[in-house]
Every structure is written in C-alpha cells, then in structure tokens.
Structure 1
Amino acid sequence: MAAAHRIKGKFRELRARGEAALIPFIVAGDPDMDTTRRLVLELEARGADLIELGVPFSDPMADGPANQRALARGLGAGASLAAILSMVSELRAQTQIPLILFGYYNPIFHYGCERLCADAARAGFDGILTVDLPPEESGELKRPARANGLDLIYLLAPTTPLDRSRAIARSASGFLYYVSVTGVTGARAHLDTDLGAHMRELRSVTDLPIGVGFGISTPEQAAEVATMADAVVVGSAISLLIEAHAKSGDVPQAVGGLVGAMKDAMKLARRVERAPAAENSDG
C-alpha cells in the first residue's frame, strides 16, 4: 500500500515552513531507467518536494516538442508501466519522497485500472495524474485509486469556468494542477500576467493546494510562481537538459543544478514576500 497521505503530509510540512513545493517532471526511461533512478534521488537531494514520473506514450497530445522527444526516448528505453513500477518499488528503500504516476489514459486502460492502482500502491506511488481523462469519465480509475490510498490529481486550465473548477476540486485529492497556458507543454519566456488573479479565484472554491505548470523554465519564473501558488511544476526545461547531457553522462548533475537553483529562488521569494508583514508587526 502507498504510505497514507504522503502528498498531504508534504504540503502540510511546507506550509508550516512558509515554502512552496517544487515538483519536477521527468519521463521514466529518459535516457534510460538507471539514469531515471539516479535522477529521483538527486532531485530530492537538490530540493524537490514531490516528483512526477512520466509514463512514455506514443501520442502525447498535451506535450510540446521537448517532452515529445523525451517520451520517445523513454519508449525506446523500454520504460513500460511494469518496468516503472518495478523501479519505484526498488527506490522506496532509499527515499520517501511523494511520487506521482503521470501519463495518458491509454497505457493505464490497457494495463487495467484495478490492477494498476493495486500495483502502483504496492510499489510506492502516492498519486496518479492522467492528462486526458476528465473527472466525468474517471470512475473506472477513481474507485480503485481511492481503495488503494492513491490521490487522483486533475488538471485545470485558464479557460475552465469557476463552477467546473469547483466540481473538479470536489473529485480531486492531493493537489490541483493548474495549466498556466492554453497550449501544450514547453518552456516559455513569459508567464501569464493574470496568474495571481486565477490563483485567488481558485482558492475561493477549494482548500486543496494548487500547483502551477506548463511553461516554467527558469529560477526567476519559479520564484515568481512560488509567491502565488502552493507548488511549481517544471518539466520541459528538464527534458531539454536531459537531452543535452545524455551523451556526456552527467544528467543528474545538470538537472540537479537547475532544480537546486529553482528551489533556492523559490525560498528566497517567499522570504522576501513575508518580510514586510514581519516588519510591520514589529512596529
């Protein structure tokens, strides 16, 4: 069984420290399964709070070029669901970081929802995020996920009406993943200028932590989002680094450097944000 409420516990711990969560996304098997195993441990050492492990899939409609290539490399390395579950089962002897199985519904459907949820919980996963499975159609996955103690994490978009956001939040657990752009994954030069307003609006309909992803690629962007959201999700920038360093063999060090810089920037931004309030309370 998955450890009870490992995701909830992590967010509670971070809230007590006044920090936002940093959630890197990596594709399992990119560039090989052994590197993925080492990456998980390195990311945790560099400040990652939760990790999304992507399941390679041949038709990733929500992903841009960087993640598409990463998913293709994972497929080439043989990163099947069975191989990913086996790797996580071994990793659990070395880490208790919350792990989220992130992917498209097709591989999950073919594996079998009941079987997957039981196997994922047994291996040590804490949650599942299925990109292309809306809440209205997720009953077949939701029932066994709940029965096995797995959080089901759903996506929200800038175009999601508030009433629908409220309904999705009622079905979700763990946290909500807010897609910051109307488009596919990929590093972007600028963030949505309305992000703060969207976060305030969402907080009016849910108490769940809200993570923001799609387009965050620099420590400066991660810091900015950390002042508005409960979590920062970073994927494409990591996929690009893995691609650039795969042949030189220093993938964990390269990716760890970016993640460490992001976490440091996020902590500093939160401290600066709290400082004026602290000064006023002393006066």
Structure 2
Amino acid sequence: MTKLLMPYITAGVRPDWTAYLTAFEDAGADLIEVGLPFSDPTVDGPTIQEASDAALARGATPASVLAELATISAGIPLVASTYANIALRPGFAGALHAAGVTGLIVPDLPLDELAGLSAAGIEVSLLASPATPDDRLAEIGRRSQGFVYAVSVMGTTGERDRLAPSAAALAARVKEVTDLPVLLGFGISTPEQAAEAAVVADGVIVGAAVMRRILDGAGPAEVGAFVASLRAALSGPIAVR
C-alpha cells in the first residue's frame, strides 16, 4: 500500500505562499494541509504560531486566503485546517468548496458539536489522541471522513528529535475502529521519522518541519526538496518491526 504524505503550510505566510503548493505537489505529496492563520492557535506550537503571526501581520484573512486558492489549480486534494470560531461561521463550507478545498480539520471542535458544522461537500477529518477513550475513539472512527488524524503526542505541534512511543499504539487503536486511512501527525520532523511512522500508519502529516524552513527563508524549490525526501522515505522499503 502506498503511504500517504500530507505536508502543511500556513496560508499567507509569504507573498508567494501558493508557489509552495505547486512545489509540494511536484515533490510527490498526496494531499496538502492549508492552515488558515488564527490569532489564538491553541494546539499549535511555537513554529506554527510564528507562521500564523507572520501571515496575520501581512493582512491574511480566511477570505483572502480562499480567494488566492481559488486562482490556482491544484492536482491533489487541499485540506483546510482552522479553529471552530472560523469553521462554524455561516457560509464557511461553501467558501471552502468554491476555493477548491475538499477537506477540513478543526482541532478544537468537540465531537458533540460536529452536527453544528455545516460542511456539505467537504470531508471533515477528525482527530484522535493517545488520551482518547475507547468509546470516543470508536465514534471518531465512524464519523470521520477522508482520513483520521492521529495525534502522536499530547500537547502542541512542533519538531521533535524522535517519534513518540505513543504513536504506534495510537495508530493500532485507530485502525481497529475505521477503514479510513490513519495519518500520523505532531512531531514528525525527518524522513527517518516519517518512515518509522509509516510502519504503523497509512501516512504522515508534516507541519512544523516544513514551516521552520519557510520561516527561515527557504524558497519553494528548497522546501520541495525536503518534501521529496519525505516522499522517498515513504516510498522505500518499510521495515516491519
């Protein structure tokens, strides 16, 4: 089975931010997570917070980001990520659809409030963490769409020097309750970690490691090369433990 790769970018972080989407696609990404900058990103660590602050300082808004997305033609699915304060606004799902976005991640939306999210035509992927109880995990497996986002560690996003030990156990638990792909995220920072995660999951989500490079000035070609290295790691032989 081909392992899925979804790199992340904070929309609006640079004037040329949409050029990174093309670079990611050319590098072999299967999906792209597009983060809408938000003033209080509760699950995001320092790197994504810095990127959000930079985008907001440039004047980026959900409307401006979606307007920019509507001008490009992506050959792979775009998955927006944002917070409930934005996602629950009337007309938001329609705006996503008009911009060519096909998926949505809302990390702070309680499962009990999912019915209040009007997202016709948009696949809403739910998150599971190592602390998610079995009964709630089963409901997440039933109600998630597109894929299940397995949060490998408790806490916020950010680069880490190793894959969390909790990642394998969580991926196994999620795979027991859904036939959807299970993508591991939070802390996957290197090709080696991506390959390790692919042993137990159906793919990986890489955010902070991508954004750190962009914030440090790396252009689309250079960041695309990093994404290509992740793709190569996922496409090579996967050692089964």
Indicate whether 1:123 and 2:91 are aligned.
Answer: no
Q: Identify the range of structure 1 (183-192 vs 198-207) with the bigger mean alpha-carbon deviation.
A: 198-207
Q: Give the CA deviation at 1:78.
A: 1.9
| Percent identity over paired residues | 39
Structure 1 position 49, deviation (Å): 0.7
SS at match of 1:224: helix
Query: How many residues of Structure 1 are paired with residues of Structure 2 in the alignment?
Result: 240
> Is residue 222 from structure 1 mapped to residue 194 from structure 2 by the alignment?
yes
* 1:69 Cα offset (Å): 0.1
Q: Is residue 167–residue 184 contact of structure 2 (8 Å, CA) maintained in 1?
A: no
Counterpart in 2 of 1:30? 13
The residue that corresponds to 2:68 in the other structure is 87
* Pairing of 1:13-28 with structure 2 (within 5 A): 18-28=1-11
Residues 1:96 and 2:85 are matched in the alignment: no
Compute the TM-score of the two structures, normalised by the length of structure 1.
0.81
Confirm or deny: 8 A CA contact 1:52 1:101 kept in the other structure: yes
Partner of 1:256: 224
Superposition pairs of residues 12-161 of structure 1, within 5 angstroms: 18-32=1-15, 35-92=16-73, 95-109=74-88, 112-113=89-90, 115-141=91-117, 144-145=118-119, 147=120, 149-161=121-133
Over 3 Å counting, the alpha-carbon distance change for 1:194 and 1:63 in structure 2 is closer
User: Could you say which structure has the higher helix fraction?
Assistant: 1
Amino acid at match of 2:71: E
Indicate the SS of the match to 1:269: coil
* 1:31-85 Cα deviation digits (max 9, x unpaired): 23xx211000010001111000001011111111111100101111222111111
Give the unaligned 5+ runs of structure 1. 1-17, 274-283
Q: Give the structure 1 partner of residue 163 of structure 2.
A: 191
Give the TM-score, by structure 2 length: 0.95
Contact 2:37 2:52 in 1 (8 A): yes
SS of residue in 2 equivalent to 1:19:
coil
Structure 1 residues 228-278: Cα deviation after superposition (integer angstroms, max 9, x where no partner): 111200000111101111xxxx521221111010110111133x55xxxxx
Partner SS state of residue 64, structure 2: helix
Listed as ranges, the gaps of 5+ residues in structure 2 are none
SS of the residue 2:230 aligns to? helix
In the alignment, the residues of structure 2 paired with residue 195 and residue 61 of structure 1 have an alpha-carbon distance, to the nearest angstrom, of 21
In 1, distance between residues paired with 2:198 and 2:139? 25
Deviates most, 191-200 or 173-182: 191-200
